[in-house]
Amino acid sequence: MNRLLACALLLGSARLGFAQRPLSGGENQFSVSQTLFTALAAINAAGYDTGIDSPLNEQFKLRTQLREALAKRKIPCLPEIRDFYQAHKKPSGGADLGQYISFSLLAGDAPKFDLPTIELPADVEPMRPFSELLARFYKEADVADLWRRSQGAYAEAIRTYQDEVINTLFETNGYLRNPSGNEGRRFQIYLDLLGEPNQAQVRNYRANYFVVITPSSVPLVDEIRDAYLTYLVDPLGFKYAAAIKEKKVLEKYAQEAPSLDLAYKDDFQLLVTRCMTKAIDSRLMHGGSAKREEFVNQAMREGFILTAVFAEGLEHYEKMPDSFKLYYPQLIAAIDVKKEKKRLEGIQFVEVAAPKVVVAPAKMQISLAEESLQTAEGLYEQRDLETAEKVFKKVFEQTADKGMQGRAYYGLARIAIRQYQLHEAKNLFERTADSGAGPSITAWAHVYLGRIALAEHNDKKADEEFKIALATDGISAMAIEAAQKGLESTSSKGDKAK
């Protein structure tokens, strides 16, 4: 296959900037959780009083009303729940509430609230006996009735915060030119009215991110945006791990920052992600350049040593048409180690960072196969095809998951095109299409198969493949455009034949 044809087949992988998009597809959801409601109702009945005197409880009233309703009910398991709560009580209010939030995010739905049998996070593993207690509490306290009666209060509270929260996510998507959801991943916000006010607790379980907020005097949009940015940026750290590693010599400066969390000192990739999100925060910040500069300087003093160089790089990004995902490797490559060493030698690190709402640093937890897929994609985009091919092939040894294997086939197929191996590419795209790799990749596989059919002068087959792509639920806007152009090509040939 000649180079011109290879370029034509690969045009579908070129990407453009994207505008903001609606919240949909299991991402950016802002809702409530019955499991969390039940867990917090139980501990409120058992003696959880933190923040009960806050004026915010008077604004929404639900926590007070619920406690009064539970006090009137006969709940045989309540003494056991009191004992459990006291035995697991933490010294700080955030940590005390946090363990029940973590439990609720991992537990199953009512009425059983079962925890998965896999190894659980450290704050959840001791909570296993709570599942059985909560199941009894749910039945004995008739929590289903309380949950139904609480929906009006939750609807009012969500209306209070929803516009600012959604506008923040829209603004973030717009800035990053984020065209679609992260397939197979989830970002979820829960509002709950039964916990200590002014809380924004973030959890990262495998590839999913959760934010739980409680009533606050001002919507905690900064914390939500921070979590959402991490959700979007985190996978890029895996994708471009090799490029990040080249800058690791700068890590020693972060080690010298007294107030920097050990999690960042122990994981340079995590530190890079956090510096990037802080840099983006600075660019989205309202209030003028002086406020942005002070934010960046404070981040640097706290040990987030790459915030300044990323903020400078983002000024250039804003003038470019690429999406952030495409521009990210340029931001990493733009780190001049010698220049940054000189900058960092002049930084006076603070001894204690400003207090923050509870947001524990955590890198996205993914399987070895997922890490290989992310790394291989990064190598592919950097045109290191030989290494990318080896890493894609590792996926078949690391997992039996057909969807992940399909993504590996897709990567290998695109490499085959770049190496002018048309027959091999065709075989690999067919395997991709049959693998269940997800609607976006499946649609693209059919687009490529249509292009290959055109190259083989098989217009009928090309027409079929482009139509299959268009009929795929969840097809991306770019794949639609590519398939429609393909159909126009087959139609124009048919017209000429007439």
pLDDT for the residue 10: 56
- In the predicted structure, residue 494 carries a pLDDT above the cut 80: no
What is the tally of helices (H) and strands (E) in the chain?
24, 4
pLDDT surpassing 50 at residue 432: yes
> Long-range contacts made by residues 26-29, C-beta under 8 angstroms, separation at least 24?
26/181, 26/186, 27/181, 27/182, 27/185, 27/186, 27/187, 28/166, 28/169, 28/187, 28/189, 28/228, 29/187, 29/188, 29/189
Is-contact 436 414, C-beta < 8 A? no
Residue 17 pLDDT > 70, yes or no? no
Determine the Cα–Cα distance for residues 194 and 57; give it in Å rounded to an integer: 9
Contact 219, 161 (CB under 8 A): yes
Please tell me the predicted confidence (pLDDT) of residue 184. 63
pLDDT score, position 56: 84
The reported pLDDT for the residue numbered 361 is: 58
Do 54 and 197 touch, CB atoms closer than 8 A? yes
Share above pLDDT 70 across residues of the chain, in percent, rounded to a whole number: 89
pLDDT at 38 over 70: yes
Question: How many Cα atoms occupy the beta-carbon half-sphere of 362 within 13 Å?
Answer: 19
Other C-beta atoms closer than 10 Å to the C-beta of 121 total 17
**pLDDT, position 309:** 97
Q: ∠ CA(342), CA(346), CA(348), 5° rounding?
A: 145
Q: How confident is the model at residue 25 (pLDDT cuts 50, 70, 90)?
A: very low
Q: Domain coordinates of the chain in residue numbers?
A: 3-9+367-497, 27-213, 240-344
Q: Positive or negative CA dihedral for 378, 382, 385, 386?
A: negative
pLDDT for 129-142, tens place per residue? 999 999 999 999 99
Higher pLDDT, 273 or 1: 273
Instruction: Give helix 307-317 / helix 289-301 axis angle, nearest 10°.
Output: 140
In CATH, 3-9+367-497 is 1.25.40.10: yes
CA pair distance 450, 433, nearest whole angstrom: 12
How wide is the angle at C-alpha 390 spanned by C-alphas 389 and 394, nearest 5°? 115
pLDDT above 70 (res 9): no
| Mean pLDDT across 412-440 | 90
Would you say 209 and 187 are in contact if contact means Cβ atoms under 8 Å apart? yes
Tens of pLDDT along 209-255? 899 999 888 778 888 898 899 999 988 998 899 899 999 999 999 99
pLDDT above 60: residue 475: yes
Report yes or no: 272 and 306 within 8 Å, Cβ to Cβ: yes
Q: Report, as an integer, the average pLDDT of 451-466.
A: 91
Write out pLDDT tens, residues 289-301. Answer: 899 999 999 999 9
Lowest mean pLDDT among 59-63, 124-128, 177-181, 186-190: 177-181
What does the pLDDT read at residue 360? 53
| Contact assessment for residue 306 and residue 275, using Cβ atoms and an 8 Å cutoff | yes
Q: What integer pLDDT is reported at residue 80 of this predicted model?
A: 97
Q: What is the mean pLDDT of the chain?
A: 87
Does residue 7 register a pLDDT over 80?
A: no
Q: Average of pLDDT values for 422-440?
A: 90
pLDDT confidence of residue 164: 87
Map residue 212 onto helix, strand or coil. strand
Phi, psi for residue 108 in degrees, rounded to 5? -75, 180
29 DSSP 8-state letter: E
Average pLDDT over residues 387-411: 93
